[in-house]
Structure formats: C-alpha cells, structure tokens
Amino acid sequence: MCIGMYFRRQELTPDIMVGIIGAGISGLTLAYQLQERNIPYLLLEEKDITGGYIKTEITDNYTLDIGPNSILADEEITKFFNSIGIENELIEANPNSKDRYIFKAGKYQVLPDSPPKLLKSNFFSFKTKISILREFFRKTEKIEDETLAHFITRRFNKEVTDYVLNPFVTGIYAGNPEKLLVKLTFPILNDLENKYGSVLKGMLKSGGSGRRKSFNFRNGMATLPKAIAKKLKNLQLNTQVEKVEYQDGQYKVSALSNGQILSYNFSQLVIATPAFAASSIMENISIEVAKALSQIEYPSMALVHTVYSKDNVNVQLNGFGGLNPKIENKFAAGSIWTSSVFSGRVPDNQILLTSFVGGSQYSEQYKNADQQIKENIIQDFQRDLKIEGRPLMQKIHRWEKAIPQYDKNLQAAYSEIEKLQVKGIYFCAGWYKGVSLSDCIKNASQLAKNISTLKDTHS
C-alpha cells in the first residue's frame, strides 16, 4: 500500500506519528503492535519484500530456509503466533531431535543435557567432571567487561569452554567466545553467580528459565513476516531511507522510492535496520552514534543446503545437528540435520542438512569459492556422518554481513546511544539487546507498549 503522498503533508501529522525504518521481524512486529493500539505509524522498507534476514526458498520438492531455521517460543511468543493467525502453520521440532551432537575425539558425540547425564557420560574427562562439581563452591568474582570464554573457564574449565561454549556460541552468534561479552550475550550467568554464588546452584534453585520449544512453519520461516505484513495497513515497500534530520522536535525523513525523493515528518522514529544501515541513517542526528554503529562487526557466513537420498545414509541422524568446536579444526562451524528436526522440508525418501561456513572463527573458510565449499562439506559428511555418494541437490547462499557481534564494539555503541540528547528516537533490531527472533519480537512488543504510554500522556 502506498501512502507516501498523505504523509508528505506536514499539517496532517498528528501529535504522535511513528516512523519505522526497516520491515524485518523487529519493524514488522512493532508496526503490528502499534496498529493494535491505534497508534499511527508508517513502516518504510527498502526492498520489495519484508522479512529482512528471514528468507525461504520453495521449489517443487524443497522448502529451504536461507536465514534463520527455527524460532524458540515460550508463552509470549506462542500468543503472538495466535494473534497473527499462524497457529495452524506451526511445525514443532521433532522430539527425537532434541539431542545436540558435538564433534570430539574424531566423532560426533551427544552432549549430555543435564548434570547427572553429564557426570555419567564419557563426554568429559574425569578432571573436567570434578571441575564442574567444584563450580558449586568456587569463589565469586566481578570482572568488568568479562568475555564468555573467560567466564566459563573461570567457573568451570577450559574443556567446557572449548567443547560446550565454543560450538554453541558459533551456533547462535557465529561469534568468538574470546570476544563476546557475558553481560551482552548471557547476562543470566552473571546474575546467577552474583545471586547464588554459583551458576549451577542458581540454575537448580531458580528452576531454569521455563520450557521453550523450537518451531518452524509448514512453508518455512518466511511464513512469519508474510503473516505480519498481511495484517499491516501502513507498510510501504521499495522505499529506501537515505537521510534523517531532527528539526523543531520532528524527524524529517528523506527516502528514495521508485526513483522519486519522498519526505516524511514523524514525531517518533524507530530504526529497525541492521547497525551498518542505521549508521548512515544516523549521520545527521549524531556523528558519534553513526561512527559507533559502523564499528559493530557482522562476520560473513554461508549457508549450504545439501540433500541426499536416504539410501545413501548409513546412520540414524536423530538429533538437532552436529556442532564443531573450533579446536577440532573442521571446515564448517556445524550443520543442522534439518529434515530430522522439521518434517516436510524434502520428500520422505530424502534428507536435508544445512551447514554453516564462516562467522568470526571460520572467516578463512568463507573465502573459498562456492564449489570448494560445497565439496569440503560433502567430504566432511562422508567422513563424519558416513553418508555415501553424491548429493541430489546442493545450494549455497552467502550472507556478507550475517550476525551482529555482541562484543566491546557493541557495548561502545550502546554507550553512545545512551548519550543521545534528541528525544523520540529508538532502536529496535537484532543488534539491539537480543539477536534471536524471539528477542526481536519481545523487544518490539515492549517498545510498542512504551510508545503507547507516551500517547496516553499526550492525550
């Protein structure tokens, strides 16, 4: 729907008019929640499609997610799915796929998912098991800007850092645990140490953070942005915001739309783009913020989908996937055994594996040519998963700027944002206080609530 003409006329701008830049999951959710509260908004998106990093490619035989592969849902997220009417589209992860495999000592081994299982299994050395038990009694420390690797090595030991933390951080952030900060990634770890004196004691006493389930959708992850976009009355595609200025208490936004320069006035402005795009948008508002945003790292990552006939697979792939600790020097960061997790991705007699190459610890591997990456993955599958022969289909998708790194540079950007003097500008995106889709939905929903409080004080 094109409503640019209407918003160009300043005299029609009501007291609260929210401009949202970027129709990824964050901007879409925010727009939807504002609409539900009868708050006027306009959502501007540069592409001709919504969803940002969420993308699904559907062909005759295959449903391939080339961005996020699943979403973790608790009660709040489930309610959100119901409100946008996609509850019948949901596919829950197969219960047989709950095990996570980690490559260790030449093979994939199940990572024990509870302390008793961990003590019984041979996954860790005896020394590490003792070290894990000693975490209950280890003295607490407060360390400024502590990295995840430092925290886990301090509380547990290096083997836990290398074989649990490292592959998981690769899986979530495509990041390096030596650089990511505890307080930005898993602040719960600091909280448990401070409150209970021990992470394990805290986990036992607080009873965990509530069960969350992993979901995808019948027609892939793109179902989610499509469903939200369908509900929106004020979404404008093909509109690239180029410049924002703050004048007389209003945000003046200039955008390029189908070769035309359009301008809009907003009382509140939400930037829901990746940090590198937010950086140029912010240049006229604060050069310091713009500079800090430009320094947030987004390592590159390639997703490789590989499909085999089931006849070629000699082992049961009952698990979520296999993650590769950096110390094992594998080519890929890991693979999700996608067809074991979600049904309907490929025909019943085939399997689909989704591999990740790149991220901050595998940047050299990303530099390989497409064909080389594909071949290396086939060789790894032959050696480590005993899959024979050639795949029926293999596709690669590259993200030059994949996932924002929650490290010191991000911390510096947050500090600059806190110093911003102008009012009524907000950030709502995967780089701002939560990278997962569920964090993006929750943060956007909370921002809509905060903005609606402003409206109440205006009226």
Ligand X SMILES: Cc1cc2nc3c(=O)[nH]c(=O)nc-3n(C[C@H](O)[C@H](O)[C@H](O)COP(=O)(O)OP(=O)(O)OC[C@H]3O[C@@H](n4cnc5c(N)ncnc54)[C@H](O)[C@@H]3O)c2cc1C
Least distance between ligand X and beta carbon 216 (Å): 9
Cα 314 to chain centroid, rounded = 33
Of residues 127 through 186, those in contact with ligand X by CB under 6 A are: none
Residue 22 in contact with ligand X, rule: CB under 6 A: yes
Closest CB 32 distance from ligand X, rounded Å? 12
Contact indicator for 339, 345 with CB cutoff of 8 Å: yes
Identify the CA nearest to 317 among candidates 346, 344, 333, 338. 338
C-alpha 186, offset from chain centre: 14
In eight-state DSSP terms, residue 378 is H
Stretch that binds ligand X, among 16-24, 133-141, 177-185, 416-424 (CB under 6 A): 16-24
Q: Is 399 in the site for ligand X (CB under 6 A)?
A: yes
- Minimum distance, C-beta of residue 296 to ligand X, in the bound complex (Å): 12
Min separation Cβ 405 and ligand X, Å: 12
Laid out side by side, the sheet with 350-358 consists of 107-110, 100-104, 321-323, 334-336, 350-358, 301-309, 393-399
Q: How many residues bind ligand X (CB under 6 A)?
A: 37
Contacting range for ligand X; rule: CB under 6 A; set: 267-275, 286-294, 316-324, 415-423: 267-275
Does 272 contact ligand X by CB under 6 A? yes
* Residue from the set 86, 429, 448, 451 that interacts with ligand X by CB under 6 A: 429
Dihedral of CA atoms 348, 350, 351, 354 in degrees, nearest 10, equals -110
45 contacts ligand X (rule: CB under 6 A): yes
Question: Which residue number, 214 or 267, has a Cβ lying nearer to ligand X?
Answer: 214
Q: Which is nearer to ligand X, 157 or 445 (CB)?
A: 445
136 phi, psi to nearest 5 deg: -55, -30
CB of 298 to ligand X, least distance (A): 9
Residues 6 or more apart in contact with residue 299 via CB below 8 angstroms: 174, 175, 358, 359, 360, 363, 401, 402, 403, 405
From the list 16, 42, 47, the residue with the least C-alpha distance to 30 is 42
User: By rule CB under 6 A, what string of x and - marks binding of each residue 291-320 to ligand X?
Assistant: ----------x-x-----------------
Name the 3-class secondary structure at 295.
coil
Cβ proximity to ligand X, 112 vs 171, nearer residue: 171
Q: In this structure, are residues 324 and 333 in contact, taking their beta carbons and an 8 Å threshold?
A: yes
DSSP 177: T
The stretch among 34-42, 199-207, 274-282, 358-366 that binds ligand X (CB under 6 A) is 274-282
- Chosen residue from 18, 21, 84, 292 binding ligand X by CB under 6 A: 21
Compute the 3-state secondary structure of the chain and give helix, strand, coil in percent, each to the nearest 5: 40, 25, 35
Contact call for residue 430 and ligand X (CB under 6 A) = yes
Q: Which is nearer to ligand X, 177 or 430 (CB)?
A: 430
Question: And the tokens for 423?
Answer: 């009012």
Q: 68 to 107, contacts with ligand X by CB under 6 A?
A: 68-71
Q: In terms of CB distance, is 43 or 181 closer to ligand X?
A: 43
Through-space distance between the first and last CA atoms of the chain, rounded to whole angstroms: 28
Among 19, 40, 46, 244, binds ligand X (CB under 6 A): 46
Smaller CB separation from ligand X, 198 or 365: 365
* Sole binder of ligand X in the list 152, 224, 241, 285 (CB under 6 A): 241
Exposed / middle / buried, residue 351 (Cβ in 10 Å: 0-12, 13-18, 19+)? buried
- Of the candidate spans 33-41, 188-196, 204-212, 266-274, the one that interacts with ligand X by CB under 6 A turns out to be 266-274
CA-to-CA distance for 400 and 96, rounded, in angstroms?
34
Residue with tokens 């407060």: 142
Q: Does 25 bind ligand X (CB under 6 A)?
A: yes
User: What is the footprint of ligand X within residues 431-450 (CB under 6 A)?
Assistant: 435-437, 440
Is 47 among the residues that bind ligand X (CB under 6 A)? Answer: yes
Contacts 24+ apart (CB under 8 A), 163-166: 163/102, 163/104, 163/123, 163/124, 163/325, 163/327, 164/102, 164/111, 166/325, 166/326, 166/327, 166/361
Stretch near ligand X under the rule CB under 6 A, chosen from 43-51, 76-84, 341-349, 383-391 = 43-51
The answer to whether the beta carbons of residues 410 and 180 sit under 8 Å apart is: no
To ligand X, the closest distance from the beta carbon of 255 in angstroms equals 7
Rounded Cα distance between 421 and 128, Å, is 50
Q: Does 322 bind ligand X (CB under 6 A)?
A: no
State which of positions 323-342 bind ligand X (CB under 6 A): none
List residues near ligand X by CB under 6 A: 21-27, 44-47, 52-54, 67-71, 240-241, 272-274, 277, 281, 301, 303, 399, 402-403, 429-430, 435-437, 440
